[in-house]
Chains A and B, each alone.
Chain A
């Protein structure tokens, strides 16, 4: 079944209720991250907004300790440390957020790959299925 290219047009999505804190699965159903925050188009502050201008869009799903940390304990995460997954990767919003790419190709999975290559992968038997 070829995964749908993106969620069904016309469908409504409540970002906090259906995207934030949701599990993200890659194309093979392997968990990648949980959505720690959602990046939307910047809205200018203190300025009269033009009602006819284009409304903001969801640009990226964000994850990582910097984003989650500041969300839990306050403060604002430095933008340089936001781990981004482009919204264009999202194919479905269900009980989990599904992507059209594999986990290893996302920079959001660098900690998983680091632990795999430096620790777990090195222990004998780490690389093949449980028998």
Chain B
């Protein structure tokens, strides 16, 4: 499966409300160097990440920076086990899924 097929998929809660789109997939490196999926980053606003702003280590108070952070406010991480089903029309989350912060440590 292609990562780009996962990206931009609509993300829907159990009761059908859309909470945003998949903008990234977070993996963790295991002992053998394999990259295992830990969760998906969902952004309720723009369909695609714009200049990687929501997680870039930008700290200079550039006006552009503040505008782009605003554009990306509210993106969050969903653990992979919280994903219930993948359909052609979107990605369905489980009941009571967790919303974690999306910024990279």
Give the residues from 1 to 46 in chain A that come closer than 8 angstroms, CB to CB, to chain B. Answer: 5-17, 20, 37-46
Q: Contacts A10-B28, A57-B35, A71-B4 known; A17 to B86 CB distance under 8 Å?
A: no
What are 11 A-B interface contacts by the 8 Å CB criterion?
A: A9-B31, A12-B27, A13-B28, A14-B26, A15-B35, A17-B52, A17-B55, A17-B104, A38-B4, A45-B86, A48-B84
Q: Is B7's CB within 8 Å of the partner chain A?
A: yes
Q: A residues within 8 A CB of B1?
A: 39-43, 56
Chain B interface residue count, Cβ-Cβ cutoff 8 angstroms = 38
- A49 B83 Cβ-Cβ under 8 A: yes
- B33 A6 Cβ-Cβ under 8 A: yes
- B25 A44 Cβ-Cβ under 8 A: no
Q: Which residue of B lies closest to A44 (CB)?
A: B86
Chain A interface residue count, Cβ-Cβ cutoff 8 angstroms = 39
Q: Is B15's CB within 8 Å of the partner chain A?
A: no
Q: B residues within 8 A CB of A87?
A: 34-35
Residues of B within 8 A of A (CB): 1-4, 6-7, 23-38, 41, 49, 52, 55, 80-88, 94, 104-105
Q: B residues within 8 A CB of A44?
A: 86
Q: Which of B4, B26, B29, B104 contacts A10 (CB 8 A)?
A: B29
Q: Which residue of A lies closest to B83 (CB)?
A: A49
- A11 B38 Cβ-Cβ under 8 A: no
